[in-house]
Amino acid sequence: MNLQELRALFIEFFSARSHTVVPSAGLIPTGDPTLLFTSAGMVQFKKMWSGEVSLPFTRVVSCQKCLRASDIEQVGKSLRHLTFFEMLGNFSFGDYFKHEAIEWAAEFVTKVIHLPQDKLYISVLDEDEESYNIWKNEIGMSDSRIYKLGKEHNFWGPAGGRGPCGPCSEIYYDLGKEVGCGKLDCKPGCECDRFIEIWNLVFPQYDAAPEGTLKPLKNRGIDTGAGLERLALVMENKKSLFELEVFKPIIVEIEQLFSMKYEENKTTFNIIADHIRALTFAIAEGIYPSNIGRGYLLRHILRRAQTCAFEMGIKNPFLYKLVPVVAEVMRDQYPELIERRESVSLVVKSEEENFLRTLDKGTEVFNQVISEANTCTLSGENIFKLYDTYGFPPELTYELAKGKGFESNKLEFEKLMELQKERARTASKFEAKDVEWQVANPATSGEVFKCNHTEFVGYDTLTTKAKIVKWRNPQSPTPNPQSPSLFELVLDRTTFYAESGGQVGDCGRIYNDNLEFDITDTQKLGDLYVHLGSLKRGNINTVENPAASGDDVICEVDKSRRKAIERNHTGTHLLHSALRKVLGNWVHQEGSLVEPDRIRFDFTHFKPIEQQEMEKIEHLINNWILENIKVEISATSYEEAVKEGAIAIFGEKYGEKVRVVQIGDISTELCAGTHIRATGEIGILKIIAESSVHAGIRRIEAITGDYALQWLNKYESELKAISNKLGVPVFETQQKVNALIESETRLKNRLSQFEQTQILGLVPEILSKKQRVKDISVLVAEIPSSNIDTLRLLADKLREGEKRVGVI
Ligand code: SER
């Protein structure tokens, strides 16, 4: 039976028992920032048990694609672990519970797929008498086959550290002594390959809070997971997952690529065959290898496969050639892989090429470190150096070190990483300044003016009345009220946008009759907005000046600067969208800077953007600008927004209510920044530079509005100056320049020929100056030449007939 048939049998079995068939969700969990990848069938249903959402169904069956990297070290060595796999599962939300779940599982394994009873074993949580009794009395499983195990084995979840969890009962299959550890106490739950867990029946009844407390779930129920590949393994009576039909074509291809036999290299081939499946599926969904979050995990998977091959002497990219094989094997269930195999291959290849460069240098340094070591522990400092200077991932260092019999001082390495982060933090704008704040003076305002939160009102208006809450003079260790220098002001409300999400802080004026500040930047300090600037008029001394004591000031944002920033911010969203449309859906924002005079946008992509692609991107964006599409802003819950397809930036923290910025059907992003009302206000967007930031990350710089016009004008006037010099119209300059270059080359060649003839004519005269010092000929001469080729030719002529020559 192939996987396709097995999947169908499972789905049919439960759908005949009133389960709704739900398709597999993606590998990126929607609206669940606690998980990097979908690691189980239950992930897409987490909220059904807690009752946070209304229930469209109470019984579900699914076959979910999953990615789990928690066991990655085992993959390849163990015969039963995979990073990418499919999980069959049946689920109940406040519907049936233990009886039905156990009865149906028992029926499926013994009556539908006919696994021999004498190979099956069961585990239950030691305190779960109910499940024990169902297996024993209702199913008829003998005592000797039911194991009561502790919480470490038989309490499942929560996935991602919070949410549904509960006791579980597992079904094991005995693969035979020959694959076991041979220990006397080897039994279900043992780490070895003998007893393979084929189905986990979880009884979610608790809702775990992040700090670990358990509350009862509103809709307690059932969550089961059966590894599709594992079920196939036991049905086909094989000993290793890698003997399954889904792996065969991949392994055969590796044999051919490496000209090596599987039998002699099982572990490495297994690792590669597993990892390329994970990579193909993840990249096809638009996840791209990078240095953070899920991209980092993907990078680790790729590098692990590549390192194994590298150690066997494979020094060329090869993984990308396996992508079409994976797509072909899985095409029946996942036809989208066929469609995307070429772009996935390209991503894999470029990542392989990058890593090969790192590997070459890094392994050299690693080997040197090992050879110089006088203990069997690799120091944290060396691990850090390999990582920080050579880009060598720590996980890889650990694994290589282990292979050489070395321990790794992970703790010391992590400390050094922490220190580095700390250095980066203190180098940032705020934390470095340690000056006391001056609070508003109660003597003149009558009461202490307290405020822990600045209200931002600058989305809809640029001017507002506000009160000064506190201030300081960051340049001097003690506040200096007389100094006209820098000030930091905190207000209770403001129209000034504080730098965040890539958008720079606002500039402008804060003033009243007695005071005037010129504000040059705005930053956030927790929930407070700090306005940085200099005092232009008045005195902030609180006794003389009640304005500093909690009285009103007016904040007025520099309007034209803000407008320019808004053009660029909306322009950034259009750029993001155009990049995804033209290059591919793996393009993700990695960082951005939105200033009044330019946009800087970093994103995941694996190669330089070609001229044609660039033109397409620019054309798309400028068409959207011409269409003058409305920019609509709304507030909603994070889940709703992501469900509707909004792009969230991984690693960003979003509050309960999120702001959604939608530009027609072109772009929907979660964004707290300020935007123009309609795309037409951008005027024009011009891309002015494209470059590489580091492996896999590209950068685009662009300008809009007046800045773009100025830039184009400058280009134009340069071109005009050139055409004037050349004495031809602008549109003929290229032709004229080509002609000039050709004529220059011709002239150079003629000159060089002329020089050669002339110099060769001098040979007899030069040679006549040859002297003999002992048995060596010495020739000293000055040669009139400007050309290296002529010199070479002359040197050849002069040394003719000499055995050994030194030339200075
Ligand atoms: N959540 C359980 C598991 O992942 C059963 O689906 O094993």
| Helix (H), strand (E) at residue 417 | helix 410-426
No. of helices (H) and no. of strands (E), the chain? 22, 31
Q: Is 40 in the pocket of ligand 1 (CB under 6 A)?
A: yes
Residue/partner pairs of 716-721 with CB below 8 Å, 24 or more apart: none
Q: What are phi and psi of 91, to 5 degrees?
A: -135, 145
Q: Specify the pTM.
A: 0.65
Q: Report which of residues 138 and 395 the model is more confident about.
A: 138
pLDDT tens-place string over residues 190-213 = 888 899 999 999 999 999 987 888
Name which residue sits closest to atom 2 of ligand 1, judged by CA: 225
Q: Is 334 left (phi over 0), alpha (psi -120 to 50) or beta?
A: beta
Q: For position 350, what pLDDT does the model report? A: 87
d(CA 808, CA 259): 52
List alpha helices for 259-335, DSSP H.
266-284, 293-311, 323-329
d(CA 252, CA 239): 18
Number of the ligand 1 atom closest to the C-alpha atom of 201: 5
Q: What are phi and psi of 675, to 5 degrees?
A: -135, 160
d(CA 525, CA 498): 9
d(CA 61, CA 105): 13
Name which residue sits closest to atom 4 of ligand 1, judged by CA: 40
Q: For position 212, what pLDDT does the model report? A: 80
Q: For position 656, what pLDDT does the model report? A: 63
Task: Among 24, 68, 224, 230, say which to mutate for ligand 1: greatest number of ligand atoms within 8 Å of CB.
Answer: 224
Q: For position 567, what pLDDT does the model report? A: 97
Range 774-795 burial, b when 16+ CB lie within 10 A, else e:
eeebeeeeeeebeeeebeeebe
Residue 96 alpha carbon to ligand 1 centre in Å: 17
Provide the pairing of β-strand 455-456 with 163-174.
unpaired
- Mean pLDDT, rounded, for 29-43: 85
Token output for 452: 């822990």
d(CA 230, CA 767): 86
Task: Among 39, 42, 88, 172, say which to mutate for ligand 1: greatest number of ligand atoms within 8 Å of CB.
Answer: 42
Token output for 157: 């979840």
The answer to whether 307 and 399 have CB atoms below 8 angstroms apart is yes
| Helix (H), strand (E) at residue 202 | strand 195-202
| Helix (H), strand (E) at residue 18 | none
Q: Which parts of 8-49 are beta strand (E)? A: 20-21
- Mean pLDDT, rounded, for 707-717: 95
List alpha helices for 584-664, DSSP H.
611-626, 638-643
Tokens 């068939």 identify what position? 21
Q: Is 223 in the pocket of ligand 1 (CB under 6 A)?
A: yes
- What 3-state DSSP class applies to 801? coil
Q: Is 155 in the pocket of ligand 1 (CB under 6 A)?
A: no
Q: Is 202 in the pocket of ligand 1 (CB under 6 A)?
A: yes
Number of the ligand 1 atom closest to the C-alpha atom of 225: 6
Number of the ligand 1 atom closest to the C-alpha atom of 39: 4
Q: Is 589 in the pocket of ligand 1 (CB under 6 A)?
A: no
Task: Among 10, 63, 156, 217, say which to mutate for ligand 1: greatest number of ligand atoms within 8 Å of CB.
Answer: 156
Q: Is 221 in the pocket of ligand 1 (CB under 6 A)?
A: no
Q: Is 164 in the pocket of ligand 1 (CB under 6 A)?
A: no
The DSSP code sequence of 52-116 is: SS--S-SEEEEEEEEE--TTTTTBTTBSS--SEEEEEEEEEESS--HHHHHHHHHHIIIIIS---
Q: Is the dihedral of CA 455, 457, 462, 464 positive or negative?
A: negative
Name the band, by pLDDT with cuts 50, 70 and 90, for residue 431.
Answer: very low
Task: Among 200, 203, 205, 231, say which to mutate for ligand 1: greatest number of ligand atoms within 8 Å of CB.
Answer: 200
pLDDT tens-place string over residues 317-341 = 999 999 999 999 999 999 989 988 8
Q: Is 154 in the pocket of ligand 1 (CB under 6 A)?
A: no
Q: Which parts of 497-551 are beta strand (E)? A: 508-511, 516-525, 528-537
Name the band, by pLDDT with cuts 50, 70 and 90, for residue 541.
Answer: low
The answer to whether 10 and 88 have CB atoms below 8 angstroms apart is yes
Q: For position 162, what pLDDT does the model report? A: 83
CB neighbourhood size of 648 (10 A): 17
Name which residue sits closest to atom 3 of ligand 1, judged by CA: 225
Q: Which of 195, 200, 179, 184 is nearest to 119 (CA)?
A: 195
Q: Is 225 in the pocket of ligand 1 (CB under 6 A)?
A: yes
